[in-house]
A and B are shown apart, each in its own frame.
Chain A
Amino acid sequence: MGMTITEKILAAHCGRKAVEPGEFIMANVDFCMGNDITAPIAIKELEKYGLGVWDRERIALVPSHYVPAKDVKSAEMVKIMREYARKNGITHFFEIGQAGIDHILLPQKGLTVPGEVVIGADSHSCTYGGLGLFSTGVGSTDLAAVMATGRIWLKVPETIRFVYLGKPSGWVSAKDMILQVIGMCGVEGANYMAMEHVGEAIDALSVDSRLTLCNMAIEAGAKSGICAADSTAVEYVKARSKKTWTVYQGDPDAKVARTVEVDVAKLEPLVACHPLPDKVKTVREMGEMRVDQVFIGSCTNGRLEDLRVAAAILKGRKVSPNLRCIVIPATPEVMKGALKEGLIEIFMDAGATVNTSTCGPCLGGHTGVLAAGEKCVSTSNRNFVGRMGDPRSEVYLVSPAVAAATAVRGHVAHPDDVAGPYETVMGGK
Chain B
Amino acid sequence: MAKVHRFGDNVDTDQIIPAKYLVTTDAAELAKGCMEPIDPDFPKKVHQGDVIVAGRNFGCGSSREHAPLAIKGCGVACVVAKSFARIYLRNSINIGLPALECPEAAEALEGGEEVTVDPAAGTITLKGGATFKARPLPEFVMGIVAAGGLMPFVKAQVARKGAGS
A50 (CB) vs chain B CBs: closest residue:
B155
- Is A41 interfacial (CB 8 A cutoff)? yes
Q: Are A384 and B15 in contact (CB-based, < 8 A)?
A: yes
Chain B contacts for A169, CB-based, 8 A:
none
Question: Smallest CB–CB gap between B48 and chain A, Å?
Answer: 23
Of the stretches A175-183, A187-195, A231-239, A257-265, the one at the interface is A187-195
Find the A residue at minimum CB distance from B20.
A364
Q: Tell yes or no: B57 within 8 A of A by CB.
A: yes
Q: Please pick, from B64, B85, B150, the residue contacting A145 in the complex, using a CB distance under 8 A.
A: B150
CB contacts (< 8 Å) of A125 on chain B: these are 63
* B75 beta carbon closer than 8 Å to chain A: no
Q: Which of B86-94, B107-115, B128-136 forms contacts with chain A?
A: B86-94
CB distance from B53 to the nearest CB of A (A): 18
Chain A CB count within 10 A is highest, among B18, B38, B61, B140, for: B61
Known A51-B155, A141-B91, A188-B83; contact A71-B65, beta-carbon cutoff 8 A: no
CA distance A133 to B155 in the complex (A): 29
Q: Is A148 an interface residue (CB 8 A)?
A: yes
Pick the residue among A73, A191, A382 that contacts B61 (CB under 8 A): A382
Instruction: Report Cα–Cα, A286/B79, bound state, in Å.
Output: 38
For the complex, give the distance between the alpha carbons of A41 and B94 in Å.
12
Number of A-B contacts (CB under 8 A): 135
**Chain A neighbourhood of B155, CB < 8 A:** 49-51
Contact A385 B150 (CB under 8 A): no
**Complex CA distance for A141 and B152, rounded to whole angstroms:** 11
Distance in Å: Cβ of A109 to nearest Cβ of chain B: 21
User: Is the beta-carbon distance between B64 and A141 smaller than 8 angstroms?
Assistant: no
**A387 CB within 8 Å of chain B:** yes
- A51-B155, A123-B63, A149-B154 as given contacts; A137 in contact with B87, CB under 8 Å: yes
Give 1 or 0 for each of B127-165: 1 = CB within 8 Å of chain A CB: 000000000001010001000011110110110000000
Quote the shortest CB–CB distance from A266 to chain B (angstroms). Answer: 28
**Alpha-carbon separation in the docked complex, A174 to B13 (Å):** 26
Q: When chains A and B are docked, how far (Å) is the Cα of A30 from the Cα of B23?
A: 29
**Interface residue B1 (Cβ < 8 Å from any Cβ of A):** no
A121-162 residues at the B interface, CB under 8 angstroms = 121-123, 125, 137-142, 144-145, 148-149, 153, 155
Chain A 164-206 interface 0/1 with B at a Cβ cutoff of 8 Å (1 = within): 0000000000000000000000011001100000000000000
Please determine whether B65 and A73 come into contact, CB atoms closer than 8 angstroms: no
Q: Given A24-B138, A187-B60, are A40 and B25 neighbors across the interface (CB < 8 Å)?
A: yes
Query: Contact between B65 and A363 (Cβ–Cβ < 8 Å)?
Result: no
Cα distance A90–B25 when bound, in Å?
A: 22
A221 within 8 Å of B by Cβ? Answer: yes
Chain B nearest Cβ from A399, distance in angstroms: 21
Query: Which of chain A's residues have a CB closer than 8 A to the CB of B18?
Result: 364, 386
Closest-CB distance, A156 to chain B (whole angstroms): 12
Contact with A along B35-62 (1 / 0, CB 8 A): 0111000000000000000001100111
Check if B37 sits within 8 Å of A385, measured CB to CB: yes
Nearest-neighbour CB distance to chain A for B47, whole angstroms, equals 24
What 1/0 flags go to A303-319 for Cβ under 8 Å of B?
Answer: 00000000000000000
Whole-angstrom CA separation of A50 from B63 in the bound complex: 24
| Contact indicator A41/B87 (Cβ below 8 Å) | no
Residues B15 and A141 in contact, CB atoms below 8 Å apart: no
Chain B residues lying within 8 Å of A145, measured Cβ to Cβ, are 150-151, 154
Contact with A along B70-86 (1 / 0, CB 8 A): 00000000000001011
CA distance A198 to B25 in the complex (A): 41
In the assembly, what is the distance between CA of A188 and CA of B62, in Å? 14
Known: A49-B155, A141-B150, A142-B94. A187 touches B10 (CB 8 A): yes
Interface centre among A41, A122, A144 (most CB of B within 10 A): A41
Find out whether the CB atom of A387 lies under 8 angstroms from the CB atom of B14. Answer: yes
> Which residues of B are found within 8 Å of A49, using beta-carbon distances?
151-152, 154-155
Residues in A whose Cβ lies below 8 Å from that of B22:
37, 65-66
A155 CA / B149 CA spacing, docked (Å): 18
B120 within 8 A of A: no
B95: Cβ under 8 A from any A Cβ = yes
CB neighbours of A382 from chain B (8 A): 12, 14, 61-62
Select A221's contact among B69, B86, B140, beta carbons within 8 Å.
B86
Taking the closest CB of chain B, its distance from the CB of A55, in whole angstroms, is: 14
CB <8 Å contact, A139 and B64: yes
Residue from the set B14, B36, B69 with the largest chain A CB neighbour count within 10 Å: B14
Q: Is the CB of A38 within 8 A of B12?
A: no
Q: What residues make up the interface of A, taking CB atoms closer than 8 Å to B?
A: 24, 37-38, 40-41, 44-45, 48-51, 65-66, 71, 73-74, 76-77, 121-123, 125, 137-142, 144-145, 148-149, 153, 155, 187-188, 191-192, 218, 221, 223, 276, 363-365, 382, 384-387, 391
Closest 4 CB pairs of A and B: A73-B23, A139-B91, A139-B65, A391-B37
Instruction: Identify 14 residue pairs between A and B in the complex whose beta-carbon atoms are under 8 Å apart, listed by A's number.
Output: A38-B63, A49-B151, A49-B154, A51-B158, A65-B19, A77-B23, A139-B91, A142-B90, A142-B91, A221-B86, A223-B86, A363-B62, A386-B14, A391-B36
12 further A-B contacts with Cβ under 8 Å, apart from A125-B63, A148-B154, A148-B158, are A24-B138, A38-B63, A38-B65, A41-B65, A65-B19, A77-B23, A138-B87, A188-B85, A191-B83, A221-B60, A276-B10, A387-B14
